Copies of this chain bind each other. A is one copy, B any other.
Amino acid sequence: MTQFDSQVGFAILRHCAPVLGLEPHTDPETYLARRTELGVEEVNRRLLTASGVEHFLVETGYRGEELLDPAGMSAASGKPADEIVRLEAVAEQVVAEGTDAAGFSARFEAALWERSRTARGLKSVVAYRYGLDVDPEPPTAEEVTAAAGRWLRTGRSRVEDPVLLRHLIWKGVERGLPLQFHTGFGDPDVDLRRSDPLLLRGLIERVEPSGVPVMLLHCYPFHRNAGFLAQVYPNVHFDVGLGVNHTGARSAAIVAESLELAPFSKILFSSDAWGPAELHHLGALLWRRAMIRVLSGFVAEGEWSRAQAVRVAAMVGAENARRVYRLEKPRVTARR
């Protein structure tokens, strides 16, 4: 056994190997040797270019210093790349730079507006830090100050207090950009039972009057629940990003299940690529293969017209994101 003995591993050997000049279904050793031989820069360039992504939205809040930032992504791919700002990372930066409890809220707000000046959206990882079953109400100023004091006294860099996590979300809502939530599966520290997007119902209803789009990311295995939320709440959108990459040959089934209740204007493509450039290529390629397979099936069975299939693919693949994130023109351009 190797770590490649999984759907995502087989998908890399199948679809990324040819981009590196190897036969499909090569063995892991050959693949890794070739990767080393080409070097990171060339591998990134090849895989990012092959992905066919026209505009990247890059979330920079998790180990951002080890990864390409939007400018770096743009340089490597030759396409525009914009930023999604992680709320928790801003709060942790504020604390790292020094604040007292009473000053936390104002400093966070200022930092958030400054950090997100050119951003296209914000992101909450409350699913990782507490759970989506967080109280949906905004906390009071007194509660925030008290919670900030508790946090500062722990000396820990990581924000995990549910009062503060709620405060970050509500300050994010005030900021007015599309607000992403990690939902569904992810790294081992997620408690999957507490990452069902249905748990966000109270928050979605309270955010709705603000007009801020709520973007549910990944959602697997709760993507049908996400489809329900996208059907009944005008401000809810979702994708099955992470689920496409990690289910490989089964990703068409996941994409098909995401095309049930939700209006087609509320479903978005996402690669959820993080880290290796393989995930950018795979996320896009597997999604395209899945859409072709699923929508062609609808057409072959006489349920959809070909024109409808083409139109929905364009909506989910690009137009919905362009509209919700206002991607008319890139805000960040390559450094070189």
Mark each residue of chain A from 244 to 257: 1 if its CB lies under 8 Å from any CB of chain B, else 0: 00111110011011
Most chain B beta-carbon neighbours within 10 Å: one of A5, A233, A260, A301: A260
Residue of B nearest to A312 (CB): B5
Q: Are B25 and A304 in contact (CB under 8 A)?
A: yes
Q: Report the minimum CB–CB distance from A148 to chain B (whole Å).
A: 29
Asked if A85 lies at the interface with its beta carbon under 8 angstroms from chain B, I say: no
A249 contacts B301, CB within 8 Å? yes
* Contact residues in B for A264 (Cβ distance below 8 Å): 1, 5-6
Interface residues of A in 92-116 (CB under 8 A from B): none
A interface bracket (residues with beta carbon within 8 Å of B): 35 or more
A249 / chain B contacts, CB cutoff of 8 Å:
259, 298, 301, 303-304
User: Which of B10, B185, B233, B253 contacts A257, CB < 8 Å?
Assistant: B253
Residue contact B304 to A228, C-beta cutoff 8 Å: no
The answer for the CA separation of A26 and B219 in the assembled complex, in Å, is: 33
**Is the pair B261, A185 in contact by a Cβ cutoff of 8 Å?**
yes
- B25, A305: Cβ atoms under 8 Å? yes
Assess whether A142 is interfacial by the CB under 8 Å rule.
no
- Given known contacts A25-B305, A192-B225, A228-B185, is B261 in contact with A247 (CB within 8 Å)? yes
**Also in contact, A246 and B265, with CB within 8 A (given A193-B198, A221-B224, A221-B228):** no
B232 near A260: Cβ-Cβ < 8 Å:
no
Question: Residue A19 at the B interface, CB < 8 A?
Answer: no
Q: Does A196 sit at the interface, judged by CB under 8 A?
A: yes
Q: How many identical chains are in the complex? A: 3
Question: Which residues of chain A from 111 to 166 have any CB-CB distance to chain B below 8 Å in the complex?
Answer: none
A263: Cβ under 8 A from any B Cβ? yes
A187 at the interface (CB under 8 A from B): yes
Q: From DSSP, what is the main secondary structure of chain A's interface residues?
A: helix
Residues 234-282 of A at the B interface (beta carbon under 8 Å): 246-250, 253-254, 256-257, 259-265
Q: In the docked arrangement, what's the CA distance between A247 and B263, Å?
A: 10
For residues 25 through 60 of chain A, which have their beta carbon under 8 Å from a beta carbon of chain B?
Answer: 25
9 A-B residue contacts at CB 8 Å?
Answer: A5-B312, A6-B261, A6-B263, A14-B305, A191-B201, A192-B228, A250-B259, A250-B260, A293-B301
Further 15 A-B residue pairs, CB within 8 A, beyond A1-B315, A192-B225, A247-B260:
A1-B265, A6-B264, A7-B259, A10-B303, A14-B303, A25-B305, A185-B228, A188-B232, A192-B201, A193-B196, A231-B246, A249-B298, A249-B303, A249-B304, A250-B260
Q: Which residues in A have some Cβ–Cβ distance to B below 8 Å?
A: 1, 3, 5-7, 10-11, 14, 24-25, 185, 187-188, 191-193, 196, 198-199, 201, 220-221, 224-225, 228, 231-233, 246-250, 253-254, 256-257, 259-265, 293, 298, 301-305, 307-308, 312, 315
A-B pairs with lowest CB-CB distance, top 9: A25-B305, A249-B303, A188-B232, A221-B224, A249-B298, A247-B260, A1-B265, A6-B263, A5-B264
